[in-house]
Structure 1
Amino acid sequence: MDPAVAFSLPALVVLTLSFVILLSYLIRRISSTDAKTPPGSSGWPIVGENVHLGILGPPKFIKKRMEKFSPYVFKTSLLGEKMAFFCGPQGNKFVFTNENKLLTSWWPKSVTKVLLFTEVIDENQKVVAPLLANSVHDILKPEALKQYVSTMDSMARHHMETDWAPYDEVKVHPLSQKYTFSLSCKLFMDEDDNDKVAKVLKNFNIVTNGMISLPLDFPGTAYNQAIKGGKVLRDGLLKIIATRRKELIENKETTRQDVLSNMLLVTNEDGKLMSEKEISNNIIGLLVASYETSSVAITFILKHLAENPHIYDQVRKEQMEIAESKQPGELLSWEDVEKMKYSWNVARESLRLAPPGQGAFREALTDFKYAGFTIPKGWKIFWNVNTTHNDPKYFPNPEKFNPSRFEGSGPAPYSFVPFGGGPRMCPGKEYARLEILIFMHNFVNNFKLEKLNPKEKIVYRSTPVPAEGLPVRLNPNAKN
């Protein structure tokens, strides 16, 4: 055989295979390009639309893009990821009913890296909520929460006496943060050392202010500060956990009934105890679920009560009837909280106008179609409250504070979603309801309030907050 021919045959095979591979690649690229993904903008290279979101705030950012691109779904680029924003009740319903089918839970690495010991997270656990052990979920169920009503009421009374009553003027948001965080530390860790709680709270705020930000780890950035704060937070929790484990070993019995003590005794399917890092992740998950959103909710409820004196009067009337039915010094019960119907409608209307949680992330498990568009596998999804809570189609005169919206059958399905929905509905919903209503009871029975800056702006961090912390003047109510 001619040596040239002998050489050309394998070369021809290689060239043919290379051509086939290249052709297959190009076909896949063309198919991918032809796929009708949602309209939208990717923003600037690397930065994406993070800056636009930060400047406008989620409500305006989303509204502008719905008007420009699509009222059903639009694409953007945030936190270094291609992302589709699902809009309206239909979008909410699609996300809530396709959990673990087309979609799975997802959070940015910036969140998990800052908050958690990532080395002990199972690969299938991509968000804080799934980290919570069954024993942790149990405390958030109504039947378990009943035993904590009196503790919540006692702490709320003490909080009013020490942090509100001595002053004529206060800032609502930092005081609400102090109250909800102290309550979480007491119920979850039986920790009521004020200095220790204050230190943990300081680092927790640093973390939450920087975890939903562009993950640029340079000195001076919010993300860099969050990483440092997260390490201090986790180290502090490990010390608390180690000390409690030592106490349990030495006493050889359960001396406390808080979540931490229960977790120290819980075994997995293999009969092994949870590690201290796993317990730390669970406690942080609880703090995330119970503290920040509740403090923001309380802040805006007081803001709306200050702005609507006639509604404040109705809330106070309801709460005074409950107070007058009690013996002097008698604490609230579960049955008392169940009577706070109007107060809860007021709270829900506040959650509609100023939802603490803006939504949540998901990840596409496979390519799928939605509203005539293709969502490619691996794309990140964001469902959000802003596309329905302020829509006049579902809430007429949406800018008006009107608790009567929640009377009778209430809003249309999937239009009011401050706690999410479906299998991943916020497990702390009932806890938040108790915490909020017990606070409202104690506040309106003690004070009226007046906003000191009627034009105070709202800024967006990981949650919306009044720019100045909502400074108010307190006027003590006469004791009946």
Structure 2
Amino acid sequence: MELLFLSLLLLTILFLAFSVHFFTLKYKRINGAHLPPGRLGWPVIGESVEFFSMGRKGSPEKFITDRMNKYSTEIFKTSLLGEYFIAFCGPIGNKFLFSNENKLVASWWPRSVEKIFPSSLQTSTIEESKKLRKLLPGFLKPEALQQYLGIMDLTTRRHLETNWTNKEVVMVYPLVKSYTFSLACRLFISIEDPDHVATFAKYFHVLATGIISMAINFPGTPFNSGIKAAEIIREALLKIIKKRKKDLLENMISPTQDILSHMLTMTNESGQFMKEMDIADKILGLLIGGHDTTSSVITSTMKYLAELPKVYDEVLKEQREIAASKEPGELLNWEDIKKMKYSWNVACEVMRLVPPLQGAFREALIDFTYAGFSIPKGWKIYWSGSSTHKNPKYFPDPEQFDPSRFEGTGPAPYTYVPFGGGPRMCPGKEYARLEILVFMHHVVNMFKWEKIIPDEKMIFNPIPEPAKGLPVRLKPNH
């Protein structure tokens, strides 16, 4: 007992010493500055507990809106993840951040991400961002995605026929995650073997949990498990990369086969190829980003289509007209996607109400002022769609599901931001749009469904997901 007491006492002293050190260093940057209103909460912890707990309760926007109502509709200060933060609110705040990317602010990642992706952080986040965005457009712009539309169509049909057909009840969220991950593996690194994909998926789940956890690296913690999972995935990817390099040298495959081949054949201004470990990290990041958010949107869409029969009927009408124009076995093409206007409005309204990402982090590169307040260099910045997506000023009757909001010119600029904006707008936006619409086309043509748990909540961890996996009862659509 005495040893336990001494250990606890030592940990308490260390925590207090670290807290004093942390706040002393931070205060040097804010003493005398005219900071935005708000509160910083507890030492080190700040307001992190409330920030994450509101997400798990299903109302992450409450953290933002409560402080907007209390302090300012434009800007407030808080402390999250052991860092001082300034939250920018509203369309003017969104426009300011998006238009000053890499000038006044730059992307910032929590320490947990830095530990899991160490090789990609040997250079600045600005440089890494530029590198990745130079690599992606060749594969993720609309013109390039047209060649992958047939693969998406076939993969979707195969998934629904194998995992949904002749089933009375299915768990939507895990099945959709399996589908989007399989498709990402197929399109990004040309892996199709189900066993290989399933092994990858198991470790990716552990990795994703580790990324959003506290950066406590002790055996048994989610963060520690996430680091180990990342190492296992990285080793597997390195084996794939080495084999792909050999196949490319022997002209066995095309350099434009997928994103991996493109990364292996691309050189920088000095004629140097990317390092294998950097490629592994970037592929790892793309596989995470290429399935988590779209899984959430597709699942939320199925939830609303089950709850809103009139909306479901309109989507079905549009998709049946497209299906009726096709020959038996004919795959979807780009013209078919352009006809899915109402279906995409539905998906947009889903992302307004349940954005796949609540917001994103930035860091102040220099001291600057905004809305009359000082933003110190090094402080972290948070922007959130919650400040506009459910604001009646920009979306009347915001809790009402209304796809017509996106007809014509759509919402006012910078009020609808599920994909961010400016130089850092999500490069996978068109990829996500295709994946969502192809899935909607086939699932409504094949099935009608009803929720088994009528009042099932959506929780945000931090990506929104149904608390019980969204079990539904299927009925074949004839």
Q: TM-score, normalised by structure 2?
A: 0.90
Match of 2:420 in 1: 420
CA distance in 1, matches of 2:361, 2:347: 25
Q: How does 1:232-243 map to 2 (within 5 A)?
A: 232-243=232-243
Alpha-carbon distance change, 451 to 253 in structure 1, aligned in 2, over 3 angstroms? closer
Match of 2:307 in 1: 307
> CA-to-partner distance for each residue in 1:350-409, whole Å, 9 max, x for gaps?
000000011111110111111221110100111111111111111111111110111112
Q: Secondary structure at the match of 2:326?
A: coil
Alpha-carbon distance change, 66 to 255 in structure 1, aligned in 2, over 3 angstroms? closer
Match of 2:404 in 1: 404
Q: Secondary structure at the match of 2:125?
A: coil
Letter of the 2:299 counterpart = T
Q: How does 1:313-332 map to 2 (within 5 A)?
A: 313-332=313-332
Q: Secondary structure at the match of 1:423?
A: helix
Q: How does 1:195-234 map to 2 (within 5 A)?
A: 195-234=195-234
Match of 1:287 in 2: 287
Q: Secondary structure at the match of 1:382?
A: strand
> CA-to-partner distance for each residue in 1:98-122, whole Å, 9 max, x for gaps?
11221112111211322x2x23545
Match of 1:476 in 2: 476
Match of 2:447 in 1: 447
Is the aligned partner of 1:148 residue 2:144?
A: no
CA distance in 2, matches of 1:128, 1:43: 33
Does structure 1 conserve the Cα–Cα contact (< 8 Å) formed by 2:64 and 2:387? Answer: yes
> CA-to-partner distance for each residue in 1:231-252, whole Å, 9 max, x for gaps?
2221221122122223333446
| Residues matched between the structures, number | 450
CA distance in 1, matches of 2:123, 2:368: 23
Does structure 1 conserve the Cα–Cα contact (< 8 Å) formed by 2:106 and 2:125? Answer: no
Alpha-carbon distance change, 246 to 305 in structure 1, aligned in 2, over 3 angstroms? same
CA distance in 2, matches of 1:461, 1:30: 34
Match of 1:97 in 2: 99
Q: How does 1:385-400 map to 2 (within 5 A)?
A: 385-400=385-400
Q: Report how far residue 140 of structure 1 moved.
A: 0.5
CA distance in 1, matches of 2:38, 2:320: 52
Is the aligned partner of 1:110 residue 2:108?
A: no
Q: Report how far residue 129 of structure 1 moved.
A: 4.5
Letter of the 1:112 counterpart = E
Q: Report how far residue 462 of structure 1 moved.
A: 2.8
Does structure 2 conserve the Cα–Cα contact (< 8 Å) formed by 1:50 and 1:214? Answer: no
Is the aligned partner of 1:85 residue 2:83?
A: no
> CA-to-partner distance for each residue in 1:403-437, whole Å, 9 max, x for gaps?
01111121111110000011111000011100000
> CA-to-partner distance for each residue in 1:221-270, whole Å, 9 max, x for gaps?
32222222222221221122122223333446637711212222222222
Q: TM-score, normalised by structure 1?
A: 0.90
Q: Report how far residue 126 of structure 1 moved.
A: 5.3
Which among 45, 68, 71 is matched to residue 70 of structure 2?
A: 68
Is the aligned partner of 1:132 residue 2:152?
A: no
Rg larger in 1 or in 2? 1
Q: Report how far residue 456 of structure 1 moved.
A: 1.1
Match of 1:59 in 2: 61
Q: Report how far residue 44 of structure 1 moved.
A: 1.9
Q: Secondary structure at the match of 2:201?
A: helix
> CA-to-partner distance for each residue in 1:302-342, whole Å, 9 max, x for gaps?
00101101100000000000000000000000110010000
CA distance in 2, matches of 1:341, 1:237: 38
Q: Report how far residue 41 of structure 1 moved.
A: 2.0
CA distance in 2, matches of 1:72, 1:459: 27
CA RMSD of aligned residues (A): 2.0
Does structure 2 conserve the Cα–Cα contact (< 8 Å) formed by 1:72 and 1:91? Answer: yes
CA distance in 2, matches of 1:239, 1:49: 43
> CA-to-partner distance for each residue in 1:244-298, whole Å, 9 max, x for gaps?
2233334466377112122222222222222211211221232233211011010
Q: Report how far residue 203 of structure 1 moved.
A: 1.3
Alpha-carbon distance change, 129 to 441 in structure 1, aligned in 2, over 3 angstroms? farther
Does structure 2 conserve the Cα–Cα contact (< 8 Å) formed by 1:190 and 1:256? Answer: no
Does structure 2 conserve the Cα–Cα contact (< 8 Å) formed by 1:133 and 1:282? Answer: no
Match of 2:42 in 1: 44
Q: Secondary structure at the match of 1:369?
A: strand
CA distance in 2, matches of 1:231, 1:327: 47
Match of 2:14 in 1: none
Does structure 2 conserve the Cα–Cα contact (< 8 Å) formed by 1:48 and 1:79? Answer: yes
Letter of the 1:427 counterpart = P
Q: How does 1:356-367 map to 2 (within 5 A)?
A: 356-367=356-367
Does structure 1 conserve the Cα–Cα contact (< 8 Å) formed by 2:115 and 2:227? Answer: yes
Letter of the 2:269 counterpart = E
CA distance in 1, matches of 2:261, 2:27: 54
Match of 2:297 in 1: 297
| Structure 2 unaligned regions, length at least 5 | 1-25
Letter of the 1:33 counterpart = N
Letter of the 1:53 counterpart = F
Q: Secondary structure at the match of 1:209?
A: helix
CA distance in 2, matches of 1:227, 1:267: 29
